[in-house]
Amino acid sequence: MTFRTRLLVVFTLAVVASVGMVEWLVTRATREAFERVERQRADVLAAQFQREFDRRGREIVRAVEDIAQSDAAVNVAISSDYSAFYNEASAMARAHGLGLLELVGGDGAIISSAEWPVRFGYVEDWLASPSGWKPGTAFLRREELPDGFTLALVAVETVNAGGRQLYVVGGQQLDQDFLATLVLPAGMRVLLYRNLEPQFAPHLLAGSADAAADAQEFQPLIEQVIRERRPRVATLGSGAAGETVHALPLAGIENNLLAVLLISSSRRELVELENSLGRNGAWVAAGAIFTGILMAAWATARVTRPVRRLAESAGQVAAGNWSATVEVTSRDEVGQLAQAFNRMTHELVEQRQRLVQTERVAAWRELARRLAHELKNPLFPLQITVENMQRARESHPAEFDEVFREGSRTLLAELANLKQIIARFSDFAKMPAPEMQPVNLNALVAETMRLFEAQFAQARVTARAELAPALPTVSADPEQIARALRNLVLNAIDAMPEGGALRVRTMPQGSGARLEISDSGKGLSQEECERLFTPYYTTKTHGTGLGLAIVQSVVADHHGRVSVESQPGKGTTFRIDLGDR
């Protein structure tokens, strides 16, 4: 991963994290605000329920008082035969808008019951209880009806006439109708669980269209409130179907928990708001991320452009272009780095020039030394021969001819040797430009091996050619390549004075070909390997030290590469790669 990519990823992650953080903060703030509003609405609804509860209670108290003060009630109270009045309560209840009404004698026996007419004669013990009820106050009570128990808001008044007492017990059921009178904000509903049975019963949940499903949902909360007898808030369901439910216990006059009021607020609005925020946030985040990526890309490009130029310049320097420089466009750290780079390359160029001069001087010295050495060897016999010929002329004239002949031969031989040395230097100096043409290295190798067959035999060298059958042709000067190959073969023969094995291999290398020459000679040290291609360097007692320099020159002219691999005692392998660009 490039520095620019890494920088881009970091910038992008930073943008995404920032947008995500903002989104989370907005969502959290929205939820808290919504829940605060929802709590306020629930409190308002609870207060409304309490007001409605109180209002209904006052209405019931008023109706019961009206009944108690009516002549009809007095007539019932003073009657000696209650049996004629068993239907009286129904008419009274209808006239005063009460759902429940019982006329109860002083002994607690029901005289007339509107809600359960045939229950006359049964005794209402709780009326005689001193702590049971207070006149003028409505309270919750569990009332028995023909089809089961119900929860009612009731009030009691007494009629005292003619020394007899009559209880008037009137009320209203707290049921669906009662809840329907509450004005509910959108998204809210009120349910009432009437705690009329020892175990939870779904049918006792009023105010729900789908009581069975709701009962199952509310059951744990209701049971918890009944158990703990204190308000609870819970979130039921999930997603848009979820509800926040405030559960309030409602107690009767004996502090018995008779009902649980459930004020439910739908979370649909919140969820939809959150979804909307999420969608909008996603769009904004996508836009922000896209913009951030663009800006990050621009900033990254701006930041990394000088660095990239530095890298490119460093690459050029590495490739040999020592004059590569970087444009300095800023004064920041990157600018300072560019200046330092330019200084460094400038110094490198200067050092290289100095080195080249030094090497050139060293090369000339080496050349002079080698030339002196090479020329000194034949000059010495020439000098000796000439001196012998002079001594023979002066001291032994009779033998002068013989000495002259001998001396002439020697002189000619040494002169030929000098000529050969000069020719070699001349060849190295006159290395021509290669004339490229398609060359089959296998054919070239085979021909070279045939030329050296006699020398192989004389040097007791076992030569072997391993030629790749599908070797591609390479573009090369066959004469120069053959010359390089011959130099390497001669080097190999020289490396095996006691004989040995020579192997020449060809093989495909990338889009080009490789030529490999291996010998089983004494091998080279690491230092020798490093200096091997230096002109005039040789490890042999004879030779000019130009063979491998010529090989390297030829291969370089062909844009190829030559390398050597050797270990002392394990032979040497030269590799020439051609045509692989």
Partner 1 sequence: MSPHQAQLLWGRMASYAAIGNRRACRLPIGTQLTKLPHKQPAPKIRGSRLPFWLRLCLTSEQRRASPSPLTVATCIFLIWSLLPASAATRPRYGGTLRVEIQASIETADPPQLGPGMADLAPAFAITRWEAGRRAAYVADENAPGGRPFLDAVEVELARPPRDQAIDLDVGKADLIEIPPSEARRQPAGRRTWVSQPVRVLLLLFGARVDDPRAREALALAVDRTAIFNVLLQRQGEISGALLPQWLSGYAFVFNAASDTAKARELAAAIPASARSFSIGVEDAALRPIAERIALNAHDAGLAVAVAPQAGAADVRLLEVRIATADPARALAAIAATLGLAPPPPADSPDALYNAERGLLEGFRVVPLFHLADVYGVAARVKGAPGISPLGEWRFENLWLESGRP
Q: Which span sits near partner 1 by CB under 8 A: 113-121, 314-322, 391-399, 522-530?
A: 113-121
Beta carbon nearer to partner 1, 117 or 132 = 117
Q: What is the DSSP string of 258-323?
A: EEEEEEEEESHHHHHHHHHHHHHHHHHHHHHHHHHHHHHHHHHHHHHHHHHHHHHHHHHHHTT-TT
Instruction: State both tokens at 180.
Output: 């329907």
Shortest gap between Cβ of 86 and partner 1 (angstroms)? 5
Give min distance, CB of 105 to partner 1, in A: 13
Q: Which is nearer to partner 1, 109 or 361 (CB)?
A: 109
Residue 55 Cβ vs partner 1, minimum distance, rounded to whole Å: 34
Q: Which is nearer to partner 1, 119 or 531 (CB)?
A: 119
Shortest reach from residue 109's CB to partner 1, in Å: 10
**Which one of 111-119, 163-171, 256-264, 543-551 is the stretch in contact with partner 1 (CB under 8 A)?**
111-119
The answer to whether 121 contacts partner 1 (rule: CB under 8 A) is: yes
213, amino acid identity: A
Minimum distance from CB of 119 to partner 1 (Å)? 6
Shortest Å distance, C-beta 157 to partner 1: 23
DSSP β-bridge partners for residue 476:
437
Nearer to partner 1, 38 or 88 (CB): 88
**If binding is defined by CB under 8 A, does position 148 make contact with partner 1?**
no
Scanning 117-125, 203-211, 334-342, 414-422 for contacts with partner 1 by CB under 8 A, the matching segment is 117-125
CB of 213 to partner 1, least distance (A): 28
Applying CB under 8 A, among 4, 39, 119, 559 the residue interacting with partner 1 is: 119
On whether the CB atoms of residues 507 and 471 are closer than 8 A, the answer is: yes
CB 125 → partner 1: shortest distance, Å? 15
Least distance between partner 1 and beta carbon 81 (Å)? 9
Q: Is 559 left (phi over 0), alpha (psi -120 to 50) or beta?
A: left
- Beta-bridge mates of residue 45: none
Contact 87, 112 (CB under 8 A): yes
Of 91 and 507, nearer to partner 1 (C-beta) is 91
C-alpha torsion sign, points 417, 421, 426, 428: positive
User: Which distant-in-sequence residues (6+ apart) come within 8 Å of 302 by Cβ?
Assistant: none
Let me know: does 442 contact 468? Beta carbons within 8 Å: yes
State which residue, 119 or 164, has the beta carbon closest to partner 1: 119
Tell whether residue 132 is a contact of partner 1 (CB under 8 A): no
CB burial class (10 A; 0-12, 13-18, 19+) of residue 345?
buried
Nearer to partner 1, 31 or 119 (CB): 119
- Supply the minimum distance, in Å, between the C-beta of residue 111 and partner 1: 9
What's the rounded Cα separation, in Å, for the pair 240 and 456? 95
Mask 32-71, x = binds partner 1 (CB under 8 A)? Answer: ----------------------------------------
Dist. CA 338–CA 347, nearest whole Å: 14
Binding-site size for partner 1 (CB under 8 A) equals 10
Q: Which of residues 387-426 bind partner 1 (CB under 8 A)?
A: none
DSSP labels for 74-126? HHHHH-S-GGGGTTHHHHHHHHHT-SEEEEEETTSBEEEESSSGGGTT-B-GG
Asked if residue 558 lies in contact with residue 578, where contact means CB atoms within 8 angstroms, the answer is yes
The Cα 284–Cα 180 span in angstroms is 44
Stretch that binds partner 1, among 115-123, 229-237, 253-261, 414-422 (CB under 8 A): 115-123
Chosen residue from 34, 49, 120, 218 binding partner 1 by CB under 8 A: 120
How many residues are listed for the chain in this entry? 581
Per residue in 184-202, is it b (16+ CB within 10 Å) or e — as a string?
beeebbbbbbbbbeeebee
State which residue, 76 or 441, has the beta carbon closest to partner 1. Answer: 76
- Dihedrals phi, psi of 13, to nearest 5 degrees: -60, -40
The smaller minimum CB distance to partner 1, of residues 124 and 157, is found at 124
Closest CB to partner 1 among residues 184, 201: 201
Question: Distance between CA 372 and CA 435 in Å, rounded?
Answer: 34
Q: How far is CA 7 from CA 90, 287, 292, 295, in A?
A: 87, 20, 12, 12
State the minimum distance, in angstroms, from the CB of residue 124 to partner 1.
15
Q: How far is the CB of 83 from partner 1 (least distance, A)?
A: 5
Between 117 and 472, CB nearer to partner 1: 117
Pick the closer one to partner 1 by CB: 123 or 295: 123
CB of 91 to partner 1, least distance (A): 12
Nearest-angstrom CA–CA distance, 111 and 118: 10
Q: Give Rg (Cα) of the chain.
A: 59
Give me the least distance between CB of 117 and partner 1, in Å please: 6
Q: 66-95: which residues touch partner 1 (CB under 8 A)?
A: 83-84, 86-87
Q: What is the dihedral of CA 379, 385, 391, 392, to 10 degrees?
A: -170
- State how far the Cα of 179 lies from the Cα of 56, in Å rounded to an integer: 12
Q: Rule CB under 8 A: choose which of 118, 340, 372, 412 binds partner 1.
A: 118
Burial label for 470, CB within 10 Å (0-12, 13-18, 19+), is exposed
- Does position 231 interact with partner 1 (CB under 8 A)? The reply is no
Is 569 a residue that touches partner 1 (CB under 8 A)? no
User: Binding residue for partner 1 (CB under 8 A) from 146, 163, 198, 320?
Assistant: 146
List of residues contacting partner 1 (CB under 8 A): 83-84, 86-87, 117-121, 146
